[in-house]
């Protein structure tokens, strides 16, 4: 089979150049969360039904859906790609992707990443291998590896050439997750200046502004770029979620509810990420005493159906939180049981379930039963392991807030104060952290510390 260079110069096996051009377009959509990736992929397979990398890209799209039905479709595509490889239908690039896809669908995410890393070492401009490995690393909480991998490829891209903005954005986000905020912001802004449609760069800067509690700047940043990111697929819902987080901290709750209905949850989808965004936002509102109406019930109905999926630890933990928030004791008990079974395995999901998802499910089950002290005792020892559910610091933060909330409800104000002292140290610009610290200090009879923390919160909200 002949090979044609893709748009970044990586030899790709196909029957004709048109198939590679269509695949380039599909990958470009993938890189910016566009809605036409499937159309372009379909065109690539129409141009060459036996194009190996197109079958693996289909397998990637389906696996990233984290849905049982899509998983089966994607596994068939992965098998089709393997079959074509055995018939000599692929080259060096395809061999790495074949091994990675096989490992991913076998449940060994780390091995899959190793194969994508090998693909990138051989072809540093294999942007597909880099991007999909970034996403899989992200959902393992491997931020340092994300940062190292994206640093390695930077010298292979000229600063202003097409595609460079994508790898800059990837590195910017990884820098943010490793708390290198200044470099993350500078690189993220540069990527967005080059290509405002590259939503990952917009997102990286949004994370920096959230982590640094630059709340009004965050609102302005996302508002200014909204025409570019709002046409994205359901990643736009995640961007609305980011926008809403700033308003939560600013205590602008009617705005948050409006953004929830219009942006975060405009359709009642079954998508794992949509549900996770929505649940994390509703929990924040509910814990602050905001009436969220029937919104949580709608989510909870989906989580009852998805409680035993176990395709992604990150979403599984959010399903548990949602079931707990709506008092679905039976569904939660069933989920705890399925977590225990999954945790006995050896797959990447099994290990993350054992380390973090099962403790979360057990802790929220105790919370629903009114055993707040038990809930705190269950989750406190695994705080460091929470990174294993994957996702970003901002996303996992809902579980940190949940733990503090449980400590209050348990009357364990010393633990609440300790956690909040840690929180105000990490997020000195967060009004809610200072407010809650004041609450804990007051409960412990330390009116001086309470007054100081209240003053700090007032000062931040007035700024």
Tokens of 174: 């990884």
Stretch in the footprint of Fe ion (CB under 5 A) among 110-118, 280-288, 307-315, 387-395: 387-395
C-alpha span between 415 and 133 (Å, rounded) = 38
Reference 35, options 230, 191, 194, 269; nearest CA is 230
Task: Decide whether 82 or 392 has the Cβ nearer to Fe ion.
Answer: 392
Stretch in the footprint of Fe ion (CB under 5 A) among 110-118, 210-218, 357-365, 385-393: 385-393
Least CB distance from residue 207 to Fe ion, whole Å?
A: 6
Task: Decide whether 38 or 196 has the Cβ nearer to Fe ion.
Answer: 196
Task: Decide whether 325 or 392 has the Cβ nearer to Fe ion.
Answer: 392
Size of the site for Fe ion (CB under 5 A): 1
Stretch in the footprint of Fe ion (CB under 5 A) among 213-221, 353-361, 390-398, 455-463: 390-398
Least CB distance from residue 143 to Fe ion, whole Å?
A: 13
Least CB distance from residue 391 to Fe ion, whole Å?
A: 8
C-alpha span between 23 and 27 (Å, rounded) = 6
CA dihedral 114, 198, 349, 334 (to 10 degrees): -170
Least CB distance from residue 241 to Fe ion, whole Å?
A: 7
Q: What are phi and psi of 11, to 5 degrees?
A: -60, 130
Residues 245-304 that bind Fe ion (CB under 5 A): none
Task: Decide whether 150 or 392 has the Cβ nearer to Fe ion.
Answer: 392
Burial of 78 (0-12, 13-18, 19+ CB in 10 A): buried
Task: Decide whether 300 or 392 has the Cβ nearer to Fe ion.
Answer: 392
Least CB distance from residue 90 to Fe ion, whole Å?
A: 34
Least CB distance from residue 11 to Fe ion, whole Å?
A: 34
CA distances from 215 to 179, 234, 248, 446 (A): 17, 23, 10, 29
Stretch in the footprint of Fe ion (CB under 5 A) among 67-75, 295-303, 392-400, 409-417: 392-400
Least CB distance from residue 204 to Fe ion, whole Å?
A: 9
DSSP per-residue codes, 241-272: HHHHHHHHHTT-HHHHHHHIIIIISSS----H
Reference 417, options 437, 434, 401; nearest CA is 437
- Which residue, chain included where needed, has tokens 């002290």? 373
Under a CB-based contact definition with an 8 Å cutoff, are residues 299 and 282 in contact? Answer: yes
C-alpha span between 267 and 264 (Å, rounded) = 9
- With residue 175 as reference, give the H or E element that holds it: helix 164-177
Least CB distance from residue 76 to Fe ion, whole Å?
A: 31
C-alpha span between 310 and 340 (Å, rounded) = 11
Least CB distance from residue 377 to Fe ion, whole Å?
A: 30
Q: Which residues contact 403 (CB under 8 A, 6 or more apart)?
A: 376, 379, 380, 383, 419
Stretch in the footprint of Fe ion (CB under 5 A) among 10-18, 286-294, 350-358, 389-397: 389-397
Least CB distance from residue 338 to Fe ion, whole Å?
A: 27
Count how many residues are written for the chain. 463
Under a CB-based contact definition with an 8 Å cutoff, are residues 61 and 41 in contact? Answer: yes
Reference 390, options 427, 340, 361, 352; nearest CA is 352
Task: Decide whether 196 or 345 has the Cβ nearer to Fe ion.
Answer: 196
**Contact track, Fe ion, 184-213, x by CB under 5 A:** ------------------------------
Task: Decide whether 89 or 390 has the Cβ nearer to Fe ion.
Answer: 390
Task: Decide whether 12 or 392 has the Cβ nearer to Fe ion.
Answer: 392
Task: Decide whether 33 or 402 has the Cβ nearer to Fe ion.
Answer: 33
Residues 394-453 that bind Fe ion (CB under 5 A): none
Task: Decide whether 248 or 331 has the Cβ nearer to Fe ion.
Answer: 248
Distance between first and last Cα of the chain: 64
**Residue facing Fe ion at closest CB distance:** 392
Residue 125, Cα to own-chain centre: how many angstroms?
A: 24
Stretch in the footprint of Fe ion (CB under 5 A) among 29-37, 285-293, 384-392, 418-426: 384-392
Other Cβ atoms within 10 Å of 223 Cβ, number: 10
Least CB distance from residue 87 to Fe ion, whole Å?
A: 41
Least CB distance from residue 239 to Fe ion, whole Å?
A: 8
Q: Which residues contact 407 (CB under 8 A, 6 or more apart)?
A: 372, 376, 413, 415, 416, 419
Residues in touch with Fe ion (CB under 5 A): 392
């Amino acid at each position: 089979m002949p090979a044609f260079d893709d748009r970044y110069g990586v030899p790709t096996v196909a029957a004709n150049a048109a198939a590679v051009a269509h695949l380039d377009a599909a990958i470009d959509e993938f890189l910016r969360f566009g809605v036409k990736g499937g159309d372009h992929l379909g065109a690539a397979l129409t141009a060459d039904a036996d194009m190996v990398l197109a079958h693996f890209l289909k397998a990637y799209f389906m696996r990233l859906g984290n849905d049982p039905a899509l998983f089966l479709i994607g596994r068939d595509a992965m098998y089709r790609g393997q079959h074509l490889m055995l018939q000599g239908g692929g080259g060096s690039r395809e061999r790495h992707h074949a091994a990675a896809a096989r490992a991913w669908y076998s449940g060994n995410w780390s091995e899959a990443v190793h194969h994508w890393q090998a693909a990138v070492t051989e072809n540093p401009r294999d942007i597909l291998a880099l991007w999909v490995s970034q996403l899989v690393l992200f959902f393992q909480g491997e931020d340092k590896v994300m940062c190292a991998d994206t640093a390695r490829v930077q010298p292979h891209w000229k600063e202003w050439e097409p595609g460079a903005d994508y790898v800059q954005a990837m590195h910017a986000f990884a820098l943010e997750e490793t708390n290198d905020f200044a470099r993350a912001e500078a690189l993220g802004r540069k990527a967005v200046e080059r290509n405002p449609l590259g939503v990952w760069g917009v997102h990286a800067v949004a994370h920096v502004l959230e982590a640094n509690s630059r709340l009004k700047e965050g609102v302005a940043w996302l508002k200014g770029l909204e025409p570019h990111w709002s046409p994205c697929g359901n990643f736009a819902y995640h961007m609305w979620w980011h926008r809403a987080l700033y308003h939560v901290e600013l205590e602008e709750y009617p705005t948050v509810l409006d953004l929830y209905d219009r942006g975060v949850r405009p359709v009642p989808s079954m998508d794992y990420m949509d549900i996770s965004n929505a649940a994390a936002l509703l929990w924040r509102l509910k814990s602050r005493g905001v009436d969220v109406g029937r919104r949580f019930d709608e989510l909870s109905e989906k989580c009852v159906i998805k409680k035993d999926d176990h395709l992604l630890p990150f979403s599984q933990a959010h399903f548990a939180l949602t079931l707990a928030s709506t008092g679905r004791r039976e569904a939660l008990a069933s989920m705890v049981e399925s977590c225990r079974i999954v945790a006995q395995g050896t797959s990447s999901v099994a290990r993350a379930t054992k380390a973090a998802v099962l403790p979360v499910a057990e802790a929220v089950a105790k919370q629903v039963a009114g055993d707040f002290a038990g809930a705190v005792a269950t989750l406190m020892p695994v705080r460091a392991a929470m990174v294993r559910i994957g996702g970003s610091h901002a996303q996992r933060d809902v579980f940190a807030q949940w733990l503090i909330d449980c400590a209050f409800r348990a009357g364990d104000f010393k633990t609440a104060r300790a956690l909040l002292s840690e929180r105000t140290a990490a997020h000195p610009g967060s009004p809610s952290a200072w407010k809650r610290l004041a609450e804990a200090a007051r409960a412990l009879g330390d009116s001086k510390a309470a007054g100081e923390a209240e003053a700090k919160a007032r000062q931040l909200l007035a700024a």
